[in-house]
C-alpha cells in the first residue's frame, strides 16, 4: 500500500517520465531542466528512498517467544498492520504448542487440545469455520446425552439410569442457581466464592465416598472441564462460562491425520513463507530456540537463548503458558514488577491428562449414547471419565481416559506400565462380567513435567478479581504478553489463545504506530 502511495507521488512520476524520455532519446523538458544523468541520480535516490521507506513501513522489530496458537496469531495480526520485521523463537522443533498430534498404534491422536468448544450458539467461535470449512478437518460432535445410562459401579455393572438422571438433574439445578448467584455477586459488591461454597449454600454436597455417583457427576461437570476441583474454581468468573454462553453448548472432537495443529500451520502460512508441501520455511520462524533471558529498557529489548544467541528488538511478545511464567525458565532483567509477579502467581495452571489405551479387542459397549462413560470410584477423580473412540478411529480398539490435577501429577511421576496396570484393574472391576484383556499399548502425555508447558491450561481460581486478571495481559515496558491465560473472556481454550494473540498484538500496534503506550486496566469498581 505504501509503495503504491509512493509511486503516485508527483515528484516520482516526473522523474519516471524524465527517465523514460532520456532512454527513448527524446529531449528532456527544459522546464524541468534535467540532464539524463541528473534524472538517473534522482530516480536512484528516489528508488533508494522508496526501499528505505518500505523498510520503515515494516515498522519496529518484534520478537515473539513461542509458536503456539497465540504467538502465531499475534504475528499474523502484526504483519497485517505492516509490522513484518519479526522473529519467532520457539523452544521445540515444531509449531502448535499445546495443539499436538501423536501417532498412537497407527492412528493420529491429539495429546493436547482435541475439541472445538462452544459451537452452534449465538456467536461464531472463530476456530470453528477454520476447522470445519477452510481446512475441513475430520470432526465429530460429542454426545453426552446418554451419560445417565453409563455410570459404572466400583463393583461392576452400571447404576440405575433413573437414579443417575435424578442426581444429574439435581447437579444441573444447583449449577443454574450458581449462575444466578454469580450474576448477583458483582452488583452487590460481594466477594467471589468457590463453586464448592456455592454448592454448600444450595445444600448440595457431592463430595465424599458415600456418594460416588454425585461425586463423579460433579467431577464430570467441573474437573473434566477446568482440570481443578470446585473447591478451587471461581464461581463469579466461571459460572456461567463465557465460551458456552457466547458460542453455544456443542463441542466437536477433531480427529484428523493433519492434526488440530493444522489450524496453527494454516494461520502461520498466511504470513510466513511456506514450501510446496506447506511447511513453513520462513527464516523468521526459528525452531529449537529456548529463550532463557529477556532484558528490557526504555530503548529496546535483548533476548538470549540457551544456545547463547542474542536477539535485539524494539519489543518482545511473550506467549508462553502461565505455567512457564511461574517457573524460572525465562529470567526477566530487570525483574518483573510486583503487580505482574502477583498476577502471574495467583492464577492457576491446571493439569488435564488424556491417557490413550489400546486393546487387542473391544469389550466395552459402543454406538449411540455410549461414547462417554463414567467410573464412580470412591476415590475422587480416579480414572473417572472414559470415551470410546470407535467413530473417530474405527477398529483401532482405543479408549481415552482422562485424569486431572493431583491424579495427573501422580501419574506423570510413575511408569507407564504402572498406569497401564491400574487402568486394566479399573476396567476389570467396571466390566466384571467380561473377559478384559491386557492393554497392548498406552500413551501418557506429561504436560506438567514438560518445562515448556508446566501444565495444560489455565483455570481461574477464587481470589483473583477481574482487575488482577487483566494485569496478566498488561505489558511491562516493551515486554508484551499473550497466550490463552491472557484472553479477555476465554482463558483455557484454543479460541482464547487465538483471540488473545490478536488483542495483545493490537496493544503493541497502538504503541508502535500511534505512540499510545499506556495500557489502561479498568479499575476494580469501574
Ligand atoms: C491436554 C490438553 C487438552 C486441551 N483441550 C482443549 C480442548 O479440547 N479445546 C480447547 O479449546 N482447548 C484445549 N486445550 C487448551 C489449548 O490447547 C490451549 O489453550 C492453547 O493451545 C494455548 O495456546 P498458547 O499459544 O496460549 O500456548 P502454547 O500452545 O503453550 O504456546 C506457547 C509456545 O511457547 C513455547 N515456549 C515455551 N517456553 C519457551 C521458551 N523459553 N522459549 C521459546 N519458546 C517457548 C512452547 O513450546 C509453545 O510452543 C487443551 C490443552 C491441553 C494441553
Question: CA-CA distance, 65 to 59, in Å (whole number)?
Answer: 19
CA nearest 127: which of 443, 514, 498, 511? 498
Tell me what pLDDT residue 522 has: 67
Longest Cα–Cα distance in the chain: 104
Yes or no: say if 18 and 30 are a contact pair by the CB < 8 Å rule: no
Strands of 62-65's sheet in order across: 285-286, 86-89, 62-65, 315-318, 479-481
DSSP3 helix / strand / coil % (the chain, rounded to 5): 40, 20, 45
pTM > 0.85: yes
The single-letter DSSP state of residue 336 is P
Tell me what pLDDT residue 523 has: 56
Yes or no: say if 313 and 62 are a contact pair by the CB < 8 Å rule: yes
Yes or no: say if 147 and 220 are a contact pair by the CB < 8 Å rule: yes
Tell me what pLDDT residue 188 has: 77
Please work out whether the CB of residue 236 comes within 6 Å of at least one atom of ligand 1.
no
What is the three-state SS of 258-323? CCCCHHHHHHHHCCCCECCCCCECCCCEECCCCEEEEEEECCEEEEEECCCCEEEECEEEECCCHH
Please work out whether the CB of residue 255 comes within 6 Å of at least one atom of ligand 1.
no
Please work out whether the CB of residue 481 comes within 6 Å of at least one atom of ligand 1.
no
User: How far does the centroid of ligand 1 lie from the alpha carbon of residue 502, in Å?
Assistant: 16
Please work out whether the CB of residue 501 comes within 6 Å of at least one atom of ligand 1.
no
Yes or no: say if 267 and 76 are a contact pair by the CB < 8 Å rule: yes
Q: Domain-by-domain residue ranges, the chain?
A: 59-98+257-346+461-514, 139-254+352-443
Yes or no: say if 265 and 285 are a contact pair by the CB < 8 Å rule: no
In sequence order, the β-bridge partners of residue 355 are: 401
Binding-site residue ranges for FAD = 70, 90-91, 291
Tell me what pLDDT residue 518 has: 87
Each of the 526 residues of the chain gets a pLDDT tens digit; together they read 333 333 333 333 333 333 333 333 232 333 333 334 444 444 444 444 433 444 444 579 999 999 999 999 999 999 999 999 999 999 999 999 999 999 999 999 999 999 999 999 999 999 999 999 999 999 999 999 999 999 999 999 999 999 999 999 999 999 999 999 999 987 777 789 999 999 999 999 998 778 999 999 999 999 999 999 999 999 999 999 999 999 999 999 999 999 999 999 999 999 999 999 889 999 999 999 999 999 999 999 999 999 999 999 999 999 999 999 999 999 999 999 999 999 999 999 999 999 999 999 999 999 899 999 999 999 999 999 999 999 999 999 999 999 999 999 999 999 999 999 999 999 999 999 999 999 999 999 999 999 999 999 999 999 999 999 999 999 999 999 999 999 999 999 999 999 999 999 999 999 999 889 988 876 554 4
User: How far does the centroid of ligand 1 lie from the alpha carbon of residue 359, in Å?
Assistant: 30
Tell me what pLDDT residue 520 has: 81
Question: CA-CA distance, 498 to 503, in Å (whole number)?
Answer: 9
Taking CA 285 as the corner, what is the angle to CA 316 and CA 446, rounded to the nearest 5 degrees? 85
CA nearest 102: which of 285, 259, 220, 234? 259
Q: Does domain 59-98+257-346+461-514 have CATH number 1.10.3720.10?
A: no
CA distances from 493 to 303, 442, 444 (A): 28, 26, 21
Phi, then psi, of 402 in degrees rounded to 5: -115, 135
Q: Which member of 19, 117, 371, 412 is catalytic? A: 117
Pairing assessment for the beta strands 348-350 and 352-358 based on DSSP bridges: unpaired
Supply the residue whose CA is at minimum distance from atom 2 of ligand 1: 112
The single-letter DSSP state of residue 485 is G
What angle do helix axes 69-80 and 262-269 make, rounded to 10 degrees? 20
Please work out whether the CB of residue 95 comes within 6 Å of at least one atom of ligand 1.
no
User: How far does the centroid of ligand 1 lie from the alpha carbon of residue 247, in Å?
Assistant: 21
User: How far does the centroid of ligand 1 lie from the alpha carbon of residue 99, in Å?
Assistant: 6
The CATH fold of domain 139-254+352-443: Polyamine Oxidase; Chain A, domain 2 (3.90.660)
Ligand 1 pocket: which of 64, 65, 66, 317 to mutate (most atoms <8 Å of CB)? Answer: 66
Pairing assessment for the beta strands 86-89 and 101-104 based on DSSP bridges: unpaired
Cis ω before 123 (30° cut-off from 0): no
Catalytic annotation present for 425: no
Amino acid at each position: 500500500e505504501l509503495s503504491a502511495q509512493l509511486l503516485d507521488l508527483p515528484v516520482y512520476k516526473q522523474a519516471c517520465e524524465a527517465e523514460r524520455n532520456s532512454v527513448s532519446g527524446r529531449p528532456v523538458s527544459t522546464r524541468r531542466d534535467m540532464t539524463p544523468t541528473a534524472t538517473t541520480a534522482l530516480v536512484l535516490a528516489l528508488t533508494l528512498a522508496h526501499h528505505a521507506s518500505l523498510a520503515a513501513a515494516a515498522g519496529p522489530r518484534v520478537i515473539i517467544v513461542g509458536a503456539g496458537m497465540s504467538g502465531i496469531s499475534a504475528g499474523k495480526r502484526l504483519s497485517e498492520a505492516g509490522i513484518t520485521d519479526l522473529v519467532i523463537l520457539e523452544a521445540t522443533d515444531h509449531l502448535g504448542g499445546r495443539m499436538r498430534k501423536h501417532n498412537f498404534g497407527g492412528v493420529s491422536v491429539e495429546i493436547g487440545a482435541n475439541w472445538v468448544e462452544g459451537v452452534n450458539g449465538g456467536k461464531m467461535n472463530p476456530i470453528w469455520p477454520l476447522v470445519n470449512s477452510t481446512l475441513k478437518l475430520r470432526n465429530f460432535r460429542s454426545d453426552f446425552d446418554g451419560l445417565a445410562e453409563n455410570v459404572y459401579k466400583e463393583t461392576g455393572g452400571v447404576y440405575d439410569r433413573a437414579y443417575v438422571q435424578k442426581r444429574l438433574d439435581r447437579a444441573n439445578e444447583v449449577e443454574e442457581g450458581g449462575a444466578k448467584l454469580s450474576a448477583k455477586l458483582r452488583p452487590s459488591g460481594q466477594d467471589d466464592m468457590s463453586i464448592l461454597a456455592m454448592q454448600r449454600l444450595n445444600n448440595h454436597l457431592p463430595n465424599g465416598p458415600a456418594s460416588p455417583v454425585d461425586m463423579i457427576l460433579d467431577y464430570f461437570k467441573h474437573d473434566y472441564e477446568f482440570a481443578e476441583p470446585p473447591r478451587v474454581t471461581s464461581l463469579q468468573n466461571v459460572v456461567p462460562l463465557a465460551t458456552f454462553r457466547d458460542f453455544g453448548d456443542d463441542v466437536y472432537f477433531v480427529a484428523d491425520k493433519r492434526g488440530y495443529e493444522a489450524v496453527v500451520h494454516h494461520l502461520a502460512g498466511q504470513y510466513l513463507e511456506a514450501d510446496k508441501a506447506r511447511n513453513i520455511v520462513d527464516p523468521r520462524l526459528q525452531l529449537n530456540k529456548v529463550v532463557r533471558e529477556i532484558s528490557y529498557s526504555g530503548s529496546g529489548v535483548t533476548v538470549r537463548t540457551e544456545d547463547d544467541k542474542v536477539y535485539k528488538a524494539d519489543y518482545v511478545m511473550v506467549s508462553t503458558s502461565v505455567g512457564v511464567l511461574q517457573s524460572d525458565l525465562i529470567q526477566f532483567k530487570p525483574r518483573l514488577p510486583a503487580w505482574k509477579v502477583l498476577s502471574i502467581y495467583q492464577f492457576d495452571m491446571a493439569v488435564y491428562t488424556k491417557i490413550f489405551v489400546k486393546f487387542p479387542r473391544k469389550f466395552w459397549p459402543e454406538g449411540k449414547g455410549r461414547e462417554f462413560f463414567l467410573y464412580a470410584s470412591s476415590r475422587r477423580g480416579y480414572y473417572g471419565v472414559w470415551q470410546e473412540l470407535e467413530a473417530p478411529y474405527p477398529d483401532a480398539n482405543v479408549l481415552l481416559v482422562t485424569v486431572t490435577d493431583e491424579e495427573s501429577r501422580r501419574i506423570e511421576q510413575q511408569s507407564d506400565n504402572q498406569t497401564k496396570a491400574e487402568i486394566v484393574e479399573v476396567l476389570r472391576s467396571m466390566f466384571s462380567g467380561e473377559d478384559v484383556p491386557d492393554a497392548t499399548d498406552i500413551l501418557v502425555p506429561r504436560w506438567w513435567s514438560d518445562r515448556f508447558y508446566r501444565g495444560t491450561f489455565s483455570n481461574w481460581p477464587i481470589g483473583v478479581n477481574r482487575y488482577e486478571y487483566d494485569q496478566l495481559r498488561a505489558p511491562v515496558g516493551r515486554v508484551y504478553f499473550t497466550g490463552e491465560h491472557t484472553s479477555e473472556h476465554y482463558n483455557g481454550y484454543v479460541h482464547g489463545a487465538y483471540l488473545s494473540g490478536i488483542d495483545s498484538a493490537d496493544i503493541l500496534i497502538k504503541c508502535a504506530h500511534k505512540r499510545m503506550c499506556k495500557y489502561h486496566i479498568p479499575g476494580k469498581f469501574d
